[in-house]
Amino acid sequence: MATPTKTKRDFPLDRIRNMGIIAHIDAGKTTTTERILFYTGRTYKIGDIDEGTTTTDWMEQEKERGITIVSAAITTFWTPKSGPFADQEMRINLIDTPGHVDFTVEVERSLRVLDGGVIVLDSASGVQSQTETVWRQADKYGVPLIAFSNKMDVVGADFLGTIQSARDRLGANAIAYNLPIGAENTFRGVVDLLTQKALVWLGDETGAKFVEEEIPADMVEAVKLHRDKLIEEICGTDEVLMERFFNGEEIEVDELKKALRKAIISKKIVPVMAGSSLRNKGVQPMLDAVIEYLPSPLDIPALTGKDPRTEEPKSFENTKDAPLGALAFKIQVDPHVGRLTYIRVYSGTLKSGSYIYNSTKGIKERVGRVLLMHANEREEIDEAYAGEIIAVVGLKDTVTGDTLCDESNLIQLESINFAEPVISLAIEPKTKSDQEKLAVALQRLAEEDPTFRVKSNPETGQTIISGMGELHLEIIVDRMKREFKVDANVGQPQVAYRETITQIANGEGKYIKQSGGRGNYGHCLIRIEPLPRGLGREFKSEIVGGAIPREYIPAIEKGVIEKEDTGVLAGYPLTDLKVTVYDGSYHEVDSNEMAFKIAGSFAISDAAPKAGVVLLEPIMKVEVSSPDEFMGDLIGDLSSKRAQIQGTEKRGNATIINALVPLAELGGYITTIRSMSQGRATAYIEPSHYEEVPSNITQKVIAASGFTGRVES
């Protein structure tokens, strides 16, 4: 594997941009990323998705399927020709993220460590479902965004319609930053509204050459109208400028740009820029906007967390001289160097060969090598500074979401929360020699991907793997075969049901065993009560007066959790309930942790049947896009799948059906709609929420589960 040329080090923080490309599947993220890498000189040939030659989609599965599966980090440089950083080389740490919802973990963890981003919109389709999802994720982490309205060259491209769609569906204060010159096959450039310059590209080849021209005569009025709107919007975010605006004063472009930068960083404005990445038009102005408007590491607030010993709030400055504060956001197993831990360094300096402290786990780790990543190529460096995104070799126990710092100056950052898997399947090795390799492969893959889970079914002895969708598990099995050389037999995908309770109930757990000599004694009384859907589990102790010694409470909790994990109705985990231990008794000699753990498990088994246990199933948000002629058949098919049709809407030339459908009904759905629509309909599916299963279907699920520890509610 080639090693990239040496990257310039120790860039001033104000000349670094940590940014990501996010969007709905097929909006053009990877194509846009390839253009950025070409224009910034990182690559010498534009990669093509159809040919499998893209830089960031380097996995075999990505090349074959033409989709992004893992986020790829790459470092590149751009020298803007104008603005506050004119003729200064800027460093861009860029992350290209997947669009497919099955790999949403990659978007979530990337946004957690990025300072800003470009959200790519499809000019013909506007805001799509996954656009809404990634927008919410960016919002959650306070990531400022610039919007790039891509595919201005395709039939049905509507720039102003896309902006309206962003305003309506995202609630974003989206506003045109430039206007396209032409649309569809006549799209040839853009007009910058603030500078009032028309940029026209000379052909489609590489788009590296564009010229400044006069604003086309038929656009003069539109440019004035939208420029006035943009200026009014910018002034509305700054009291001083607003007063001058209402007094009719002329405001300099530089002043407007400074105010716009503040407004973008504080998420008050989302500027929308037009372009066509595939036709090599509009990418350079977008790059200039990334430099001019998105935050540098200096613009983000000081690193804040807590001292893990005292739980008191703590913060470090975002400088290389401050104490070390970093977050591990991704694990990757590299066939050449082994386990790579991707890290965002927020403060301080991280040196190769040094010892650092994992404050989440309370352990010391040794940094072997520090690497700058360029997709799947890597460059070794001696140290990494505040504001950098790097990979480290040598960390054995650090996982996604762990905080790394100096042992002498501890800080713990907020971790990263991930969605629960919704689909499972059984997997078993084909041969005896595959048995051991299977366990190693699954452990490695689970380390990489927090939304991929592995567990053994004690009833059947099977290994069950769970993930975010059929494609997710299909890729996992494919990777096991290619990367770890493991052949496995795979069962049919199974829905990840959950169990919950509907009323308050009490239960008693008593474990007394005398076997000669010292015995076992554990006894507890618990109360279980339902929580609102989606809140998960809680455990609380109300023990007073020493009815149960404090040291046995964690053992009771452990027993409770183990029983919750195995369920009581059909073998699925119990969720959305609160368990309170309020009384019990102990024996001075015979009580021990094991006895109280078993007592906790018995108490749940006793309480649950009285609490109205019900089965929950994952409900998926389904968006079907189809020509009108197939709408009747598609809606009829959805209705037969217990779907709740939410409505239909026109988007470009297609009609969209929005529905909520139980995952159990969606096996092979993509194939079904293709055959019903002569291959012209497409579906987007993402997890929405859990809902109670109808009683007639509950009985079938229970019967199919063959669960022997069942209690009747």
Q: How many domains does the chain have?
A: 5
For the segment 309-361, what is each residue's pLDDT rounded down to a tens digit? 888 999 999 998 999 999 998 888 776 777 888 899 999 999 999 999 999 99
626 and 656 together in one domain: yes
Among the candidates 496, 518, 541, a domain finishes at 496
Q: Would you report the helix, strand and coil content of the chain in percent, each value rounded to 5?
A: 30, 30, 40
470 and 531 together in one domain: no
449 and 483 together in one domain: yes
Q: pLDDT confidence of 205, banded at 50, 70, 90?
A: low
The three-class DSSP label of residue 649 is strand
Asked, for residue 556, whether it belongs to a domain, the answer is yes
Crossing angle between the packed helical segments 283-293 and 253-265, to the nearest 10 degrees: 80
488 and 581 together in one domain: no
Asked, for residue 314, whether it belongs to a domain, the answer is yes
Distance CA 345, CA 640 (A): 52
Among the candidates 438, 471, 496, a domain finishes at 496
CATH label of the domain that carries residue 330: 2.40.30.10
pLDDT surpassing 60 at residue 667: yes
115 and 209 together in one domain: yes
CATH label of the domain that carries residue 544: 3.30.230.10
Tell me which of 3 and 642 has the higher pLDDT.
642
Radius of gyration of the chain (CA): 28
Most confident of 83-97, 143-157, 694-708: 143-157
Q: What is the pLDDT of residue 712?
A: 39
Distance CA 326, CA 335 (A): 25
For the segment 36-74, what is each residue's pLDDT rounded down to a tens digit? 888 887 654 454 544 444 444 444 554 454 554 556 678
Q: Provide DSSP, 121-161.
A: EETTTBS-HHHHHHHHHHHHTT--EEEEEE-TTSTT--HHH
For the segment 19-37, what is each residue's pLDDT rounded down to a tens digit? 988 887 778 877 888 888 8
Mean pLDDT of the region 265-280: 94
pLDDT surpassing 60 at residue 538: yes
- pTM, 2 dp: 0.77
565 and 647 together in one domain: no
155 and 219 together in one domain: yes
490 and 505 together in one domain: no
Phi-psi region of 625 (alpha: psi -120 to 50; beta: other; left: phi over 0): beta
Asked, for residue 122, whether it belongs to a domain, the answer is yes
Q: Which of 88-92, 117-121, 193-197 has the lowest mean pLDDT?
A: 88-92
Asked, for residue 184, whether it belongs to a domain, the answer is yes
Mean pLDDT of the region 600-613: 95
Among residues 394, 339, 399, 404, the alpha carbon closest in space to that of 369 is found at: 394
CATH label of the domain that carries residue 449: 3.30.70.870
From residue 332, how far is each of 404, 557, 609, 642 by CA, in Å? 17, 33, 44, 40
487 and 511 together in one domain: no
Asked if 287 and 83 count as a contact pair (C-beta separation under 8 A), the reply is no
Asked, for residue 416, whether it belongs to a domain, the answer is no
pLDDT surpassing 50 at residue 2: no
pLDDT surpassing 50 at residue 514: yes
288 and 329 together in one domain: no
Quote the mean pLDDT of the chain. 86
Asked, for residue 49, whether it belongs to a domain, the answer is yes
Q: pLDDT confidence of 662, banded at 50, 70, 90?
A: very high
Domain that residue 328 falls in = 303-405
Q: Which of 313-322, 390-399, 429-438 has the lowest mean pLDDT?
A: 429-438
% of the chain residues with pLDDT over 90? 49
Q: What is the pLDDT of residue 4?
A: 44
pLDDT surpassing 60 at residue 571: yes
CATH label of the domain that carries residue 246: 3.40.50.300
21 and 125 together in one domain: yes
Asked, for residue 245, whether it belongs to a domain, the answer is yes
Tokens at 382, concatenated = 């001696």
Q: What is the pLDDT of residue 460?
A: 59
Asked, for residue 709, whether it belongs to a domain, the answer is no
Q: What is the pLDDT of residue 130?
A: 77
Residue 369, burial from CB neighbour count under 10 angstroms (0-12, 13-18, 19+): middle
pLDDT surpassing 60 at residue 366: yes
CATH label of the domain that carries residue 652: 3.30.70.240
% of the chain residues with pLDDT over 70? 90
Distance CA 244, CA 249 (A): 5
Among the candidates 376, 405, 434, a domain finishes at 405
Q: What is the pLDDT of residue 582?
A: 96
321 and 386 together in one domain: yes
